[in-house]
Amino acid sequence: MMDDQYRQHGAFSWCELMTTDLQEAKAFYAQLFGWETEDMVFPDMTYSLIKKDGKEIGGGIFAMPDRPAMWSTYVTVNDVDETVQLAEQLGATVLLPPYDIPNVGRISVIKDPQGATINLITYRNSFCENQ
């Protein structure tokens, strides 16, 4: 079930593409995978939700022209703050301390002891119910 990934601790649940050219990236993935996008326009950026056959499939694309293009992955956790504390005890480094994203949930970014980064997220119940 699609919403399980938003509630299950340890499940991969969201992927984002930070790209140098939003329009070019959207066109590439539309041709490659048949993805559609729905733009959410904010004062400082446009975030394009990724859809397949009209259904949101757990990701988005946004432009960051001054940074290298890359995909990032989010893993659902029961409690971001507790998971960050545990990760630090296990040798991780906190790159982005926990903070809230309105209407979505609470996120953080850590770097594991081997140097790989991963995003952690606890979704708000209202977000899960809309998926």
Give the C-alpha separation, 119 to 77, whole Å: 10
Q: How confident is the model at residue 125 (pLDDT cuts 50, 70, 90)?
A: confident
- The order of strands in the sheet holding 55-63 is 36-42, 45-52, 55-63, 12-19, 70-76, 117-123, 105-111, 93-101
CA atoms within 13 A on the CB side of 92: 22
Strand partners, 119: 74, 109
Angle at 118 between CA 53 and CA 67, to 5 degrees: 80
pLDDT of residue 130: 58
pLDDT of residue 2: 44
Taking alpha carbons only, the member of 69, 74, 46 closest to residue 58 is: 74
Indicate the pTM of the whole model: 0.82
Give the C-alpha separation, 23 to 107, whole Å: 26
What average pLDDT does this structure show over 60-82?
94
Two tokens, residue 55: 């259904």
Using an 8 Å Cβ cutoff, are 12 and 77 in contact?
no
- What does the pLDDT look like over 21-63, one tens digit per residue? 999 999 999 999 999 999 999 899 999 999 999 998 888 999 9
Q: Could you tell me which CATH number the domain at 4-130 has?
A: 3.10.180.10
